[in-house]
Structure 1
Amino acid sequence: MNKTQHYVLGKWITGTGEGIPSFDAVTGEFIASTTVEGLDIPAILHYGRTKGGEKLRKMTFQERGNMIKSLAMYLTKRKEQFYEISYRTGATRVDSWIDIEGGFGNLFANASLRKLFPNQPFHVEGDPIDLSKGGRFMAHHILVPKKGVAIHINAFNFPIWGMLEKCAVNWMAGMPAVVLPAPVTAYLTEAVVQEIIASNILPEGALQLISGTTKNIFDTVESQDVITFTGSAATGRLLKAHPRIIQESVPFTMEADSLNASILGEDAVPGTPEFDLFINQAKSEITVKCGQKCTAIRRMIVPEKLMDDVQIALGKSLDKVTIGDPRLKEVRMGALVSKAQADVLKNRVNELSKTASIVYGDFDTLNIIGANEKGAFVSPIVLREDKPFQNLSVHETEAFGPVSTIMPYKNLDEAIELAQMGKGSLVSSIVTNSDEIAKEYVVNAASHHGRILVLNRENARQSTGHGSPLPLLVHGGPGRAGGGEEMGGIRGIKHYMQRCAIQGSPTTLTEITGIYQPNSAYKEITRHPFQYHWEDIQPGMSLKTHKRTVTDTDIINFANLTWDHFYAHTDITSLDGSIFEKRTAHGYFILAAAAGLFVYPNKGPVAANYGLEECRFLRPIYHNDTIYVRLTCKQKIERDVASAEHPSGIVKWFVE
């Protein structure tokens, strides 16, 4: 019997026993069975923490990012082989693109974040905090990689994206991963992991694959581990309550299927672009991935006067959807992942139809192109619930497939209340051309949603759509949606790191963080800092310049040059009653004069001035005042340029 394989402890193995069979969603043909019997789970987790973790934690952010970028490029070159396997899950080319290239895109997006981190294994967060009046005792926060393993339990609907959107983040943070895909589509995840391991791009132990679910995965988790779960809210709650997770205080992020709502604004009447956008988006969310998306629209909340218009327009749009073999170009909707999932879907629709009416589609009549009833094909189903405040099933029961329900609202307050009755969602959207309506909805509905899309004619062409989570935005939601948070750019990476407040003297914290802290001891140098090459510069290196006295002539000439004739610079007869005592030098003259003092005139390693930051004019400089400059290296930021001939980067200078 063909079995999916596991990659654990540095080798490919198969489990013992018969396992759970998976079938081609289109033909019903047997593909493989998945069994986890015989796996040494404690050893697998320990292997990740040590073999993979020790290597990843020593790598800098730039090294990790470039590693992930290389992996993304490697997989992209081999993408076509994954499309052929993905068709067997019932996914069309478009559906598979979301899963395959969307997953690779997550790698690219997270790899690019390396430029926002230092070229070191840990990250310094925020600004320094002065804990004393004299500035001799201070604090700064740093983040270091957790010394555990990330355990990812993924759902069946995105076997590639679901793995890579999580792993890209934990790898950037410096943590290894153990991935557990759902058995029914584990064969597709396995195919990608086969290529990842063959690439030799990741350090050994950075990725292990357990093809299926195992009941004892949590029995030996430790406090430094991180667990993520994607799936049903009911299953997630059971897992989250595992005694070992509670005992060890293991972070647990749950991203659960939710009853996401899309609202049609009262202004979006038939004939407006927004009405058409609502209908097109609804059709897409019902049919893409055969409705098997945790972010799909389950509830369409529309003005009561437009209920019939929406029902008719959506029905006409769905009539154009062709169903069948996802390999065929003319097919627009494939199959559910399995016959078993189709049975579950029918039961859920039956529950909803006890109060709501089915106004489009049925489970008995279906025109299938290029396939037959052996596949897990179903029709799109639209229900209508005219009493959504009385009949609560529509806010509690999710049919995970091409199913959505239309319901009415009288005013925007009712629409907001209905959206909130889902008790927490991953995403909501509102389609309106009224910014006033949009603001009212967003401000009042945001408490119950992880993301809100405002869709209108202006952004329609560029919009990524209701159901598309993006790597740089948080993915998750409160309440029923799990109360967790994935991705989110830098925010997501920090979930796999430990934040620690470091207290000490400015000099000590300069050495720890690699960032010069004000009041730290200077490292006096004899040569001008602009004469040093990149590799010789260190934070704290400092030069005190010679002095210059500001004259009346300097100020007047600068005023004539810039046309800045502010009275304090040019009219000393107007100073009475002002905060100024004498003729005052322009702030920008002080900067220019400071540059003249600290710039090294001869040709040297310095290429260009990148710009000024943290420039503040705290007190006036008057004519006849004498100034000097102290120039101290604050921080070095390496340039991540593969083609660079010599080490280089940006040097931030602390200028006093």
Structure 2
Amino acid sequence: MFINGRFTTGAARETISVINPATEEILDEVPRGTAEDINTAVTAAKTAFATWKRIPAWERAGMLHEVANKIQAHAAELIRLLTQEEGKPFVENEEEVFWTYDTFHYYAELGRHERGRFIPPGDPDQINFVIKEPYGVVGCIVPWNYPLLLLAWKLAPALAAGNTVVIKPSEYTPLTTLRLAAVAFDHLPPGVVNIVTGYGPETGEPLVRHPDVPMIAFTGSVATGQRIASLAAPMMKKLHFELGGKDPMVIAPDVVVETAVAGVAYAGLINAGQVCTSTERVYVHESLYGRFSEELADFVGSLRLGNGLDPQTDVGPMLRNHFREKVEGQIAEAVNSGAQVLVGGKRPSYLPHGFFLEPAVLINVNHDMTIMREETFGPVLPIMPYRDFDEAIQLANDTQFGLGASLMTHDARLVKRFFEEVKAGTIWINDPLTDNFAGPFGGMKMTGGGRELGQEGLDEFYEVKHVHWDVEGKRKPYWYPYGQKTAE
């Protein structure tokens, strides 16, 4: 753990083993944190906040740029460790680390751009302005699939806004977060950034319940988000959520099939499908359905599974066996209901160790099947045909989630209808899963309403205060007593 500027085992009496999902070997162990450790970390963060919030924005910006530069300088080490503890291919982790340090660069500059605005007063003798202020101690609960990236999307804007932070990383992937503290946070004032490792009920819940933590930023499942909301509601905490997804991709009849196949495979199988914005439902115009399904199956079947450290690997392992079993269960239920597996869906015999699952392509699926309704979070691409674009939009919207949605087409009329009528936080046209530092990322419906990246991502970590100042300070004719005014 990293608390008040130093590494410590805190009050932990046990450890948590961190496993390489490609080999099932133990990489290292971290302290099994407790509520006492959370309290110590929050106390340190609360103490640091008193000074950190008053540091000039330009000075905080310099420190955030230094975080970014240090991450970049240690990129090779972090990429390797990230590949070992999380499993996705090295090249995908190169992208994650790049996005991590560039997020700090981005918010370093955005955070010193402005702190509020002046607004027109109601009287010539008055001044009105709006101030953006930090909340205080922010609790960041970070998932395992992108442990550095999704941390940076919370931590960088939180710090830029003047907050201090207590981080609870996933118990599956805490090592790169701790290494980040060692190589990139060492110049920050003690207590500004704190990390407590542990399990959700033992550290996450105490963090949410703590009276000195007014804001929680969380990425994860809907069920956990609902649990956090129920704990935070009595204290009226600010909640910043990005929850589950079941993203659709619609393939219009005008596409180049080879291009669309490659795009669908990337969108659905990056990080073995363990991405909140993975394409988990594919809708293909009926005129292309047969050809597209066959070519996608051939393409997916040619991808290479393996250890992410192998440069030839396209798809790495799933994180743990119980996640793999969940995906296998959805496939089995779909097959029992009439779906057909064109390729994949099995454990590769040539990889006896690790939590590998061959990427699968399914046809003959429908919306009565779990695999088309609930988040899969695994390497599966189920395909349905549609008759016309009205039906495609109806199918895309037929979900409780609203994180992202993709469309492959060169027809501008279809593009306009799609981004206007599909209810999702991000709409991708011909380039799925590509983010933009200045473009807000987040969901609608059950995905939660939080936003990361862009100005919106910074504003999430501010409270807004309106200041009304009457400079002259004269007595007003509309004050008490009313009777005197009536008599006059």
**TM-score, normalised via structure 1 length:** 0.68
Please state if 1:361 is matched with 2:343: yes
Please state if 1:124 is matched with 2:113: no
Cα distance in 1 for residues equivalent to 2:347 and 2:160: 49
Please state if 1:21 is matched with 2:17: yes
Secondary structure in 2 aligned to 1:433?
coil
Please state if 1:111 is matched with 2:108: yes
- Kept after mapping to 1: 8 A contact 2:161/2:458: yes
CA change 1:208–1:298 in 2 (3 A) is same
Cα distance in 1 for residues equivalent to 2:61 and 2:338: 50
Q: Superposition pairs for residues 71-86 of structure 1, below 5 Å?
A: 71-86=67-82
Secondary structure in 1 aligned to 2:172?
helix
Aligned with 1:496 (options 455, 461, 471): 461
- Kept after mapping to 2: 8 A contact 1:256/1:482: yes
Structure with more relative contact order (C-alpha pairs < 8 Å, separation 6 or more): 2
- Cα distance per residue 1:194-253 (max 9 Å; x no partner): 21243x1x221111001233232222234x6210111111111111111xx212210111
Q: Greater Rg, structure 1 or structure 2?
A: 1
- Cα distance per residue 1:454-504 (max 9 Å; x no partner): 22xxxxxxxxx42233332212111221232222x2222122112111112
Q: Superposition pairs for residues 304-343 of structure 1, below 5 Å?
A: 304-343=286-325
Q: Which letter does structure 2 place at the counterpart of 1:189?
A: T
Q: Superposition pairs for residues 384-463 of structure 1, below 5 Å?
A: 384-388=363-367, 391=368, 393-445=370-422, 448-455=423-430
Please state if 1:251 is matched with 2:235: no
CA change 1:472–1:355 in 2 (3 A) is farther
Q: Which letter does structure 1 place at the counterpart of 2:39?
A: P
Give the deviation of 1:344 after TM superposition. 2.7
- Kept after mapping to 2: 8 A contact 1:130/1:137: yes
Cα distance in 2 for residues equivalent to 1:333 and 1:432: 27
> What do you get for the CA RMSD once the two structures are aligned?
2.1
Aligned with 1:377 (options 327, 343, 356): 356
Which position in structure 1 is the counterpart of 2:184?
A: 196
Secondary structure in 2 aligned to 1:471?
coil
Q: Superposition pairs for residues 595-614 of structure 1, below 5 Å?
A: none
Which position in structure 2 is the counterpart of 1:43?
A: 40
Which position in structure 2 is the counterpart of 1:144?
A: 133
Which position in structure 2 is the counterpart of 1:55?
A: 51
Secondary structure in 2 aligned to 1:142?
strand
Q: Which letter does structure 1 place at the counterpart of 2:46?
A: R
CA change 1:19–1:350 in 2 (3 A) is farther
CA change 1:163–1:172 in 2 (3 A) is same
- Cα distance per residue 1:492-520 (max 9 Å; x no partner): 21221121111124689xxxxxxxxxxxx
Aligned with 1:226 (options 204, 211, 215): 215
Give the deviation of 1:158 after TM superposition. 0.8
- Kept after mapping to 1: 8 A contact 2:300/2:360: no
Give the deviation of 1:442 after TM superposition. 1.0
CA change 1:9–1:324 in 2 (3 A) is same
Cα distance in 1 for residues equivalent to 2:456 and 2:312: 41
Cα distance in 2 for residues equivalent to 1:83 and 1:313: 33
Give the deviation of 1:47 after TM superposition. 1.6
CA change 1:180–1:310 in 2 (3 A) is same
Which position in structure 2 is the counterpart of 1:528?
A: none
Please state if 1:290 is matched with 2:272: yes
CA change 1:47–1:83 in 2 (3 A) is same
Which position in structure 1 is the counterpart of 2:444?
A: 478
Cα distance in 2 for residues equivalent to 1:13 and 1:115: 33
Cα distance in 2 for residues equivalent to 1:380 and 1:187: 28
Please state if 1:97 is matched with 2:94: yes
- Kept after mapping to 2: 8 A contact 1:427/1:466: no
Q: Which letter does structure 1 place at the counterpart of 2:219?
A: T
Give the deviation of 1:43 after TM superposition. 3.0
- Kept after mapping to 2: 8 A contact 1:355/1:385: no
Give the deviation of 1:139 after TM superposition. 2.1
Give the deviation of 1:86 after TM superposition. 1.9
Which position in structure 2 is the counterpart of 1:156?
A: 144
Give the deviation of 1:334 after TM superposition. 1.4
CA change 1:138–1:438 in 2 (3 A) is same
- Kept after mapping to 2: 8 A contact 1:301/1:406: yes
Which position in structure 2 is the counterpart of 1:262?
A: 249
- Bigger drift between 358-367 and 409-418 goes to 358-367
Q: Which letter does structure 1 place at the counterpart of 2:250?
A: I
Cα distance in 2 for residues equivalent to 1:349 and 1:364: 10
Secondary structure in 1 aligned to 2:402?
coil
Aligned with 2:171 (options 179, 183, 207): 183
- Kept after mapping to 2: 8 A contact 1:160/1:189: yes
Q: Which letter does structure 2 place at the counterpart of 1:95?
A: E
- Kept after mapping to 2: 8 A contact 1:349/1:399: no
- Cα distance per residue 1:621-656 (max 9 Å; x no partner): xxxxxxxxxxxxxxxxxxxxxxxxxxxxxxxxxxxx
- Kept after mapping to 2: 8 A contact 1:254/1:482: yes
Cα distance in 1 for residues equivalent to 2:77 and 2:301: 32
- Kept after mapping to 2: 8 A contact 1:131/1:137: yes
Structure 1, unaligned stretches of length 5 or more?
1-5, 118-122, 456-464, 509-656
- Kept after mapping to 2: 8 A contact 1:18/1:33: no
- Cα distance per residue 1:256-311 (max 9 Å; x no partner): 1200111112332xxx3xx3332111111233211111111001111122211221
- Kept after mapping to 1: 8 A contact 2:318/2:378: yes
Identity %: 20
**TM-score, normalised via structure 2 length:** 0.90
Structure 2, unaligned stretches of length 5 or more?
474-488
Q: Which letter does structure 2 place at the counterpart of 1:429?
A: S
